[in-house]
Structure 1
Amino acid sequence: MPQPLNPKDQAHFRAVVRAYEDKQYKRGLKTADTILKKNNKHGDTMAMKALILNAQGKTEEAFALGKEALTVDMKSHICWHVYGLLYRANKNFEEAIKAYKFALKLEPESAQIQRDLAVLQIQMRDYPGYVQSRQAMLQARPGLRQSWTALAIAHHLSGNLAEAENVLTTYEGTLKSTPSRYDLEHSEAVMYKNSLIAEQGDYQRALDHLEKAAKNNLDRLAVLESRAEYLSKLGRQEDAAKAYRALLERNPDHQAYYEKLSGALGIEESDTKARKALYDEFATKFPRCDAARRLPLDFLSGDEFKSAAKEYLAFMLNKGVPSTFANLKHLYSDEFKKNTLAELAEEYLKSQSSDSTSKDKGEAAALYYLSQHYNYHMSRDLTKAMEYAEKAIEKDPKSVDFHMTKARILKHHGNISKAAEMMDYARKLDLKDRYINSKAAKYQLRNNENGKALKTVGLFTRADTPGGPLADLLDMQCVWFLTEDGEAYARIGNTGMALKRLHAVANIFDVWQEDQFDFHTFSLRKGQIRAYIDMIRWEDHIRDHPFYARAALAAIDIYLKMAEKPSANGVNGTNGEDAEDALAKKKAAKKAKKEQQRLEREAAEKQAKQDPNKTTQGAADAKKKDDDPLGMKLASTTDPLGEATKLLSPLLQVCPRSIEAQHAGFEVYLRRKKFVLALRCLNMATTLAPDSPKVHEQTVALRLALNYQTDLPSEVQQVLKEGFKSIEESVDLKKYNAEFQAKHKSSPTHVLAAIRARRNLGEDPRQCDKEITGILNIPSVSFTDAIEALETLKRWKSPEVGAFKAAALSKWPEVTRLS
């Protein structure tokens, strides 16, 4: 039974609640303790105290007190609600939902509990539960528009479009007067209802609704686009053409409008003459429009393409537009177009002279275009690229773009050190340009200069941020820097800092997912329904982002190395390199650590000088203080494969067609002896790229592992037997691997995979090491192949590392990753 409170203590309890809501935690704790001195078994007060303790970061103490409050008063909805809030704060949403539901049974009329439950249900994508919660909330407050809109959204997300539309129609019937045409919330609701009708495929009704209810809608662009789409879907092509022409009048650079107008006019894709005439019409009408001139190059061919490309290229180069190559490089998948564009640029360059400033500009632009052309991976000739870049720099020694291209060429040569120097030189030509500053920092990170890169990018961070530039980059969620920084630390062997940065990237994606909480209520309050639906759908694919995959795969690779070499765990783990490399990496890691500490110290001193009397920040800084600044705890994990699995699971779920993710999944699951999951990853990788060298290597590894497993359950053996048919159990693996190597002897990556498989099969390690050095003699070998081979030798602690380096450097003397 709950302890009753006298009127004075009831007033104190209300003060505790207010103190928590106002974030006056010290006052709230003091008042709660006053109540508990007299009523030591008052569950509601104990629950509120637990909530305040949790807000102060005392999670364990808060949970203990919350559980004690429940034991004292199991029938208190406040205790159960608080218990749910504690679980929610600790991201255990399933348990939080259970606690909220129990609290709601005890207090069905509580709007706050119902709202908290609904928010968690939509966060967890429990659409049926969300529909029930929203129906209950609508019944409680039928006069509030948000209640109706939220129920419509619930039905929409659960797939019941007709019911969602019906909810909005029912609400419209309750209105006593027509809302003002300037009512933004009503305007959004009308367009949302129109989109629901269209999603059901009833385009005629959607068009009728659009022309009646949305006639004066505030979102004019959405109305015009929807109307054009509906007319096209209904086969009213003449009206659709007029609608798309109206849209092109608003925005003549919108590519999709041209394509849809062409379809509405009934122009066949093969009728290039008619399509070109359409674009020429708008190019004449809008002389400053780029799309009308550029887009015909996508479908023209032969002499027509050459003529149009010559005109476009001359127009852009005469103006000295730096993005000319970026606009045209998508055409390089067509061999004829690629060669034609290069020829036209050469012709243009020859036609120029240095008689006037305008022609100087065109000549420099042509040189810049050709340097980019020969630097591009589909038309690469780095010698020519460098020649044109040098000539362009002679024309304009102060051009940031020209020096950036020269840095990229050096990077593609493999000379990361000189590339970083050149990019930093380009940065100094324009100290106010944030983009070139970021590029310079990125190249410094590629050159493993972590401290220097942080100092460079710190020129554009907030000077007064506690913790220096890195803290500001973390606050601003600068994913690219954190990813590059982590990869650089991994290369120099600083396992702890590498994992620290890569986990910071993964945490940013977690934050983006949690940020939905605010918008579940905010979007309804502001009436931004369509944007909210778009956000929900975007959040469902948040980990499809390439940066998440890149950071997760890099961290998984580190954990795999830690699992192979447990002794290498630690901040300066060397991952099995030779003594010389290990010493170099330890020195680099130590230097980077000192540089970072110096920058943080300078930032702290600078802040102290700016505001020496500021003391209120101390408590906040203490709360935010990182208890593992160098990643030592991350690097000293005793279960690296378990940590890798945490990053791998969402990656495999959202990126099932990523072969890199499937390869990583195989490596993790094989080492954990989860053979069925490893087989699933291998089968998917085989489907995606059956001729991949990694697929062969992993196929041999799985068959070898299964040949030695005699204690697997019969059910698992049956699944593996039915699912793994790439290599039968009776096949001689050494012979199978030798045949693969012979078949692909002209491919360095395939030969390297076969050699790794041979070593795994127990063949002579020395012979395998020597054969890796022999890869350098394959005609098609590149320095990237050599870098991969060198990493393999280092991982094996091979005595051939020195000889391989010497042989590789004699072939590619400028490649810094081989030194």
Structure 2
Amino acid sequence: MPQQLSSKDSSLFRQVVRFYENKQYKKGIKAAEQILRKTPNHGDTQAMKALIMSNLGQQEEAFVLAKEALKNDMRSHVCWHVYGLLYRQDKNYEEAIKAYRFALKIEPESQPIQRDLALLQMQMRDYPGYIQSRSAMLQARPGIRQNWTALAIAHHLSGDLEEAEKVLTTYEETLKTPPPLSDMEHSEAVLYKNTIIAESGNLERALEHLESVGHRISDVLAVMEMKADYLLRLGRTEEADAAYTALIERNPENSVYYDALIRVKGIPKDDHKALKAVYDSWVDKNPRGDAPRRIPLDFLEGDDFKQAADTYLQRMLRKGVPSLFANIKTLYANPSKRDIVQELVEGYASGNVELQSNGSADKQANGDNKYFEASTYYFLAQHYNYHLSRDLTKATEYVDKAIELTPKSVEYLMTKARIWKHQGDLGKAAETMEQARLLDEKDRYINSKAAKYQLRNDENDKALDNMSKFTRNETVGGALGDLHEMQCVWYLTEDGESYLRQKKLALALKRFHAVYNIFDVWQEDQFDFHSFSLRKGMIRAYVDMVRWEDRLRDHPFYSRVAIDAIKTYILLHDEPDLVHGPIPASSLDDLDGAERKKALKKAKKEQLRLEKIEAEKREARKANAKSADGEVKKEDPDPLGNKLVQTQDPLKDATKFLTPLLEFNPQNFEAQSLGFEVYLRRGKFVPALKCLEAAHSIDAANPALQQQLARFKKALETLPEPLPAQVAEVVNSELEQLSSKLVKA
């Protein structure tokens, strides 16, 4: 039987709840203990104390106390709700949902429990459950717009567009007076309804709706873009022409608008004269614009291209636009255009091409030629450094000429560093990039570039020192801790790859797991937006975010880190002695017994030295254990990654990275190849063969396939025990088909 509180203690319990809500955790613990001294088995108080303890970082103790609270009062919705909140904090969403459901059975009218349940269902993409929860919340409080919007989103994301539109329409019909024009939430909801109509395929009705409500929408650009898109897709060319013309007048640098306008006008792609006329008309209207001058270079050919390119290149080189080469290098996919550009710019550099007039002759006499000359040399350095036109000797020659004219140009030195990199001299590349950084020490971009080149040269400490110039260095771990907090994925990835090259597998795994955890954080961070976006009314952005989160793991950085981590675990499996650190020899297999022991002893000694240094740093940090806001700084229990590298089953840990990689990026040849390596080593022949087949479908001519197929056959022949009959039948059948495909290839 649950214990009852006196009126005085009931008032004190309400204070405990307020202390928790106001994040006054120490006061909340003190008040809860005061109640429990008199009523030690009061479940609700124990539950609230457990919840406060979890927010103080005492998660294990909180779970123990929460379970005790449930034993004391199984019929308390507070106890079940808190139990669910603890599971939610522990990221165990399935168990949290179960606890919330128990709490709702006891207290079906509780809005906080219903809300928490709905948020978790959205996080888990349980759309049927989310629809049910949102319907219940709407019935309980139909006067709140958020409940209507949330239900519409639930139907929309579950694929029921008709019902989603119906919910939004029903709410609009309940409004007695039209909302004011300043009501952003209403404006967004109306546009959201319009996107639902368009997604259903009824563009005519979507356009009619947009025209009827567009004058009351605050996002004018969105209305213009949607209307133009609908008109184009409906084939209403005259109106679409006017709509895209208005958009270009608003933003003459948006190439998407020009592409749509060309489609509206129905000009064939091979009618270059008509296409050029359209862009020339916009050059006349917007003489300072870049897009209508640059886009024709994509479709013009021969002399027409040469003339347009000449005009464009001279204009941009005179202005000294550093991004000129980046803007036109896509043209190099066409060798003839690449050669024309090279001929033109080489002509500018040598004086063999007549320069077009650019104002008074006084400007030319007063140093404008020198400025033009430096920009030309810089362009040619990038041109000959580019992989489609590479000549590193000429690239070096031209970049040196540019630097001689403008010795304090950061961009010129950066290009020289890139040339050193392509020549294979990473030391010189890092040194030159550092010289560029010193020319502008307040620029974060060049600072990051210098650090990146130092990491490529395996100068990890120098890179971190550079990065520390733009971090606060107040967190545990100093600059590296700040980079973790800022989720600086590129740095952690490059740092990990550097340690992998050095065969410092512990630190490599530490960095790769850090990036993996950042992706987990991005996955979990959406939780707050399920309620925040509804409060702010930013519905379209929220739906886009949910869809982006659904394909989060196909991000290029995740693929890169996952591949690196899998390679590290395979190396650790194949050379387990690397757990002690890099071995000062090409391979332990090349050493005799005594030398092998000596190498291992040296590696262990170096590992102990690093651990001792880290322990001294940790002791030094204890004196300054609190951050600026008074909270205790969290120590990393494994800063060197020793626990990660000491895994008993490296291949099993590799599957943590491999599974999402194969699920979200199945067209990556290297991912499938590494999947084969992991599964073959684990003796899982069916998934190994599937990875091999997938790799064949991606790149049938890759020579690695033949080698892997031979190893697969050898592994089958040397099995200590034969495969089960059914597995053997599947493997042999698919193996025969794959072998015949590879023979044909």
TM class, shorter-chain normalised?
over 0.9
Which of 550, 568, 590 is residue 558 of structure 1 equivalent to? 568
Deviations 1:271-307 (A, max 9, x none): 1111111111111211111111111111111221111
What does residue 27 of structure 1 align with? Answer: 27
Aligned with 1:712: secondary structure? coil
Q: What is the 5 A alignment of 1:470-481?
A: 470-481=480-491
What does residue 273 of structure 2 align with? Answer: 273
How far apart are 1:72 and its partner, in Å?
2.6
Matching of residue 187 in structure 1 with residue 183 in structure 2: no
How far apart are 1:97 and its partner, in Å?
1.1
Deviations 1:491-511 (A, max 9, x none): 222222111111111111111
Which of 710, 728, 731 is residue 720 of structure 1 equivalent to? 731
What does residue 655 of structure 1 align with? Answer: 665
Relative to structure 1, the CA distance from residue 428 to residue 78 in structure 2 (aligned partners, 3 Å threshold; closer, same or farther) is same
What does residue 200 of structure 1 align with? Answer: 200
Give the root-mean-square deviation of aligned CA atoms.
Answer: 2.9
What does residue 300 of structure 1 align with? Answer: 300
Q: 2: CA distance between counterparts of 1:202 and 1:588?
A: 72
What does residue 804 of structure 1 align with? Answer: none
Does the aligned pair in 1 maintain the 2:254–2:291 contact within 8 Å?
Answer: yes
How far apart are 1:571 and its partner, in Å?
4.9
Q: 2: CA distance between counterparts of 1:591 and 1:342?
A: 57
Q: 1: CA distance between counterparts of 2:227 and 2:29?
A: 60
Q: 2: CA distance between counterparts of 1:711 and 1:583?
A: 38
Letter of the aligned partner of 1:670 in structure 2? L
Which of 667, 673, 691 is residue 701 of structure 2 equivalent to? 691
Q: 2: CA distance between counterparts of 1:468 and 1:435?
A: 21
What does residue 533 of structure 1 align with? Answer: 543
How far apart are 1:480 and its partner, in Å?
0.8
How far apart are 1:384 and its partner, in Å?
1.3
How far apart are 1:247 and its partner, in Å?
0.2
Q: Percent identity?
A: 57
Q: What is the 5 A alignment of 1:352-751?
A: 356-465=366-475, 467-572=477-582, 577=587, 620-622=631-633, 624-709=634-719, 710-726=721-737
Relative to structure 1, the CA distance from residue 205 to residue 615 in structure 2 (aligned partners, 3 Å threshold; closer, same or farther) is closer
Aligned with 2:632: secondary structure? helix
Letter of the aligned partner of 2:128 in structure 1? P
Aligned with 1:513: secondary structure? helix
Relative to structure 1, the CA distance from residue 3 to residue 595 in structure 2 (aligned partners, 3 Å threshold; closer, same or farther) is closer
Does the aligned pair in 1 maintain the 2:473–2:481 contact within 8 Å?
Answer: no
Aligned with 2:215: secondary structure? coil
How far apart are 1:596 and its partner, in Å?
9.5
How far apart are 1:604 and its partner, in Å?
7.2
What does residue 316 of structure 2 align with? Answer: 316
Give the paired residue count: 727
User: Bigger CA drift: 587-596 or 382-391?
Assistant: 587-596
Letter of the aligned partner of 1:180 in structure 2? P
Does the aligned pair in 1 maintain the 2:168–2:193 contact within 8 Å?
Answer: yes
How far apart are 1:96 and its partner, in Å?
1.2
Letter of the aligned partner of 2:140 in structure 1? A
User: Bigger CA drift: 456-465 or 671-680?
Assistant: 456-465
Letter of the aligned partner of 2:109 in structure 1? E
Aligned with 1:488: secondary structure? helix
Q: 2: CA distance between counterparts of 1:473 and 1:488?
A: 17
Q: 2: CA distance between counterparts of 1:384 and 1:421?
A: 21
Letter of the aligned partner of 1:568 in structure 2? L
Moved over 4 A (4+): 352-356, 463-466, 571-576, 578-605, 614-619
How far apart are 1:216 and its partner, in Å?
2.9
Q: 1: CA distance between counterparts of 2:546 and 2:399?
A: 46
TM-score, length of structure 2 as denominator length? 0.92
What does residue 155 of structure 1 align with? Answer: 155
Q: 1: CA distance between counterparts of 2:459 and 2:603?
A: 14
Relative to structure 1, the CA distance from residue 707 to residue 615 in structure 2 (aligned partners, 3 Å threshold; closer, same or farther) is closer
Deviations 1:152-196 (A, max 9, x none): 000000001111111000000000101001111111111111111
Q: 2: CA distance between counterparts of 1:2 and 1:697?
A: 69
Letter of the aligned partner of 1:380 in structure 2? R
Q: 2: CA distance between counterparts of 1:399 and 1:602?
A: 45
Relative to structure 1, the CA distance from residue 277 to residue 168 in structure 2 (aligned partners, 3 Å threshold; closer, same or farther) is same
Q: 2: CA distance between counterparts of 1:594 and 1:331?
A: 53
Letter of the aligned partner of 1:418 in structure 2? K
Does the aligned pair in 2 maintain the 1:400–1:426 contact within 8 Å?
Answer: yes
Relative to structure 1, the CA distance from residue 120 to residue 585 in structure 2 (aligned partners, 3 Å threshold; closer, same or farther) is farther
How far apart are 1:528 and its partner, in Å?
0.5
What does residue 38 of structure 2 align with? Answer: 38
How far apart are 1:602 and its partner, in Å?
14
How far apart are 1:253 and its partner, in Å?
0.6
Q: 2: CA distance between counterparts of 1:472 and 1:509?
A: 17
Relative to structure 1, the CA distance from residue 410 to residue 615 in structure 2 (aligned partners, 3 Å threshold; closer, same or farther) is closer
How far apart are 1:45 and its partner, in Å?
2.0
Q: 2: CA distance between counterparts of 1:594 and 1:85?
A: 38
Deviations 1:453-504 (A, max 9, x none): 1111111112545542112211111111111111112222222211111111
Letter of the aligned partner of 2:57 in structure 1? G
Q: 2: CA distance between counterparts of 1:454 and 1:168?
A: 53
Q: What is the 5 A alignment of 1:28-177?
A: 28-177=28-177
Letter of the aligned partner of 1:125 in structure 2? R
Q: 1: CA distance between counterparts of 2:585 and 2:664?
A: 30
TM-score, length of structure 1 as denominator length? 0.84
Does the aligned pair in 2 maintain the 1:441–1:454 contact within 8 Å?
Answer: yes
Q: 1: CA distance between counterparts of 2:215 and 2:76?
A: 53
Relative to structure 1, the CA distance from residue 616 to residue 703 in structure 2 (aligned partners, 3 Å threshold; closer, same or farther) is closer
Relative to structure 1, the CA distance from residue 379 to residue 615 in structure 2 (aligned partners, 3 Å threshold; closer, same or farther) is closer
Deviations 1:114-167 (A, max 9, x none): 111111111111111111111011001100000000000000000011111110
Q: 2: CA distance between counterparts of 1:304 and 1:64?
A: 79
Q: 2: CA distance between counterparts of 1:587 and 1:707?
A: 38
What does residue 772 of structure 1 align with? Answer: none
Does the aligned pair in 2 maintain the 1:465–1:472 contact within 8 Å?
Answer: yes
Letter of the aligned partner of 1:168 in structure 2? L
Q: 1: CA distance between counterparts of 2:392 and 2:133?
A: 63
What does residue 253 of structure 1 align with? Answer: 253
Letter of the aligned partner of 1:634 in structure 2? L
Does the aligned pair in 1 maintain the 2:349–2:373 contact within 8 Å?
Answer: yes
Does the aligned pair in 1 maintain the 2:626–2:632 contact within 8 Å?
Answer: no
Aligned with 1:79: secondary structure? helix
Q: Which runs of 5+ in 2 are unaligned?
A: 356-363
Q: 1: CA distance between counterparts of 2:671 and 2:627?
A: 46
User: Bigger CA drift: 709-718 or 404-413?
Assistant: 709-718
What does residue 360 of structure 2 align with? Answer: none
Relative to structure 1, the CA distance from residue 37 to residue 587 in structure 2 (aligned partners, 3 Å threshold; closer, same or farther) is closer
How far apart are 1:668 and its partner, in Å?
1.3
Does the aligned pair in 1 maintain the 2:577–2:600 contact within 8 Å?
Answer: no
Q: 2: CA distance between counterparts of 1:298 and 1:243?
A: 25
Q: 2: CA distance between counterparts of 1:477 and 1:181?
A: 39
Relative to structure 1, the CA distance from residue 115 to residue 468 in structure 2 (aligned partners, 3 Å threshold; closer, same or farther) is same
Q: 2: CA distance between counterparts of 1:682 and 1:231?
A: 47
